[in-house]
Every structure is written in C-alpha cells, then in structure tokens.
Amino acid sequence: MMLAKKYFNFIAILVLTLFSFSAYGEETKQEPGNTVNTAQEIKEYIKHHLKDSHDFHFYTNNETGEHRSFPLPVIVWTKDGLKTFMSSAFHHDDNGQVIVEKGNARLVKLHSKIYQLDQGATTVAFDDDHHPTNAHKVLDFSITKSVFGMLLTGLLMLLGFSALARGYKKGHTVPKGVGRILEPLVIYVRDDIAKPNIGEKKYRKFMGFLLTVFFFIWILNLLGLTPLGFNVTGQIAVTACLAIFTAVIYLFSGSKDFWKHTLWMPGVPMILRPILAVIELVGFVLIKPFSLLVRLFANMTAGHFVVMSLIALMITMKESFGAVTSTGMSLVLALFISVIEILVAFLQAFIFTMLSSLFIGMAVEEHDHH
C-alpha cells in the first residue's frame, strides 16, 4: 500500500512539474483570430498533431494569439558543430520566419524539421513546391515529444519492475502496490504467448524481450490517449525499430534446421529449391518485419485520426445542427471511440508480442526427422 502511494506521489509530482514548467515555457503572440474553421484547416491541424514536435503545445488563445507550451531541448549537429538550445527559441514558428543564430549557424524550423541556412542567407527561399532552396537539413538529436514519451515509459517500466523484483526477493508471495498490476500481465505473456509459440524449453531466453516489447508498446499507447498529445507508436520510425529488433532476434537465433529448411527446403524438387529459398528469405527478412511495423503504425495513427475527426464535428456540423447539438454529438462519439482505443492500446501490444513470439518460435523450432 505504501509502495502504491509512493508511485502515485511520483506520477503526481511529475505531472505537476511538467505543467508548472509550462508557465515558464514558450509564450508567444501571433495575429488574433487564428482559428480552425474549414475542413482543409481541420485536416492540416490533425496532420500536424499526429507528427512529432519539439515542444508540448497546450493551447492557443485565439483572441490574443498567445501560445502556451512546454519547450524541449534541441540538439542538432550542423556544419559548424554541435548546437544546443531550447525549442522556445523558435517562438512556435514552423514556417521558417524565426531565425535562431548559434555562433556562425543560422537555424530555422520548417514543418517540424530544423534546417541550417546557407552562408550569407538571411531569409528562407522556396521553390514552387515550397521546398527550401537555400537551406539544408541538420542531424537532429533533439529530445522531441516522442523521445520524451519513450524516456518516460522506460522510467516507469524500470520503477515498476524494480519494485516487483524487490518484492520477490523479500519473499512476498502476493505482490504489493504496482506489482499487483504487473504480475498478472507478466504471467499472461509467459503462459499464453511465450510458452505456446516458442516452447517450454526455449521460451525463457526470449522472455525479457517479449515483456519489454509488450509493456513498452502498451504504456506508450496509453500515453497517446492523454491530453499531452503523445503519438509515439504512430511514428513509423519507432515501429520500424521495434520490428527490426524482432527480425534481428529471430534471424540470429535460428536453429540449424530452420536455416536448412529455409535455404534448401527438403522434400521438394531440386529445381524449385533456389526459388523457394529466395521466397522464404524475402518473407523472413522483409515481409514479416514490414507487417509488424505497418500494423502497429497504421492502427494507432488511424485511432488518433478518428478521435480528432470526431472532435472536429463540433466545428463542421455547427451550422447544420447548432453549436450545442454538434458539440454534444462530438463529445459522445469521441468518448465512445476513446473507450475503444483503450482496448486497442492493449490489443496492439498483444498482437505485436504474439507475432514476435510466433516468428521467434518458427526460427528456434527443432524439426522432427523421420
């Protein structure tokens, strides 16, 4: 009970600190009346929300044009070396109008990407497709929203599993605090995912990876439902890295029988074996990881898009049904979809872990020879 209270206090302090820092964060002004009314403006706003960003944007006062956000560290490698500063230096600009000078480097932000202006340039020049012609991208190592979300998730997992492990070391047969939530899920991953797909003899070797993937995706998906605007599993770079980890593990853990059946499949005509070997290799190296990354990325992105589209109904249907009716319909439908998204958050973590264990089981399986 005391352990649960400590974790609750930790989370409360973390959230309060984040919001208190926002008071000292970016507070910029733009032209009043920066509202989102048309269908095209709503579409662009949703696309911008789904992207990663260098700060947490909480709200904008449309009457005064004032932004309130929480800046994050910007760490970039330019032609002039490493440059670090807070994202508030860009003053919530995303169109290259604000130039940040760090030494000899002049940096601008365009569509959430940071560019360095060429030597002597004072403004950004664009071509007909609105691509910069006198600026180039820099190596960006910034702590963005997605990176912050992954670090936060890693910290929560470290604290949670450390508490569970300490309880076992003390001989507690019944877990306490946060361990009461974690232990049933750990047993579920072990008994219903790892053992059936990998086998009783070899599952323990891969339990660390499967548990990490399951809880990492699940917690990130839950964070994506908070007002902080996380969309980490909706970033294809993140899901691609998770899929690559799975592919590396099952390819390097493959048994002799696995590679024999893959590269020179027995029981088929000799002329077909090279063709089947190519097909099998493409399947294991490309198709299976691709299916993992696309499934998670597409489902989470679609969920966020649907929720925001339903919220936007209060704007698009205001003239037809009135402000009160359209707002009520929007909130009810968005609440319904959000409840389903809680289930989807767990389901996508389960599916990714299940398929990963299935691919690993196929690679480490020992075939019977008659």
**Each residue of 269-318: pLDDT tens digit?**
888 888 888 998 898 889 999 999 999 999 888 888 888 887 777 777 76
What are the extents of the domains in the chain?
Answer: 2-35+61-143, 147-364
Residue 153 Cα distances to 5, 148, 197, 215, 249, angstroms: 19, 9, 27, 9, 22
pLDDT at 55 (0 to 100)? 85
Taking phi over 0 as left and psi of -120 to 50 as alpha, with beta for the rest, 73 belongs to beta
- Alpha-carbon gap, residue 76 to 119, rounded angstroms: 17
Give the pLDDT band (50/70/90) at residue 37.
low
- Alpha-carbon gap, residue 227 to 282, rounded angstroms: 41
CA angle 338, 342, 347 (to 5 degrees): 135
pLDDT at 66 (0 to 100)? 67
List phi, psi (to 5°) of 127.
-90, -170
pLDDT at 29 (0 to 100)? 44
- Alpha-carbon gap, residue 139 to 351, rounded angstroms: 34
pLDDT at 22 (0 to 100)? 39
**Each residue of 44-54: pLDDT tens digit?**
777 777 888 88
**Each residue of 332-348: pLDDT tens digit?**
888 888 888 899 999 99
**Residue 100, pLDDT above cutoff 80:** yes
pLDDT at 327 (0 to 100)? 76
| CA-based nearest residue to 363, from 252, 212, 213 | 252
- Alpha-carbon gap, residue 255 to 249, rounded angstroms: 12
- Alpha-carbon gap, residue 361 to 370, rounded angstroms: 21
Specify the pTM.
0.83
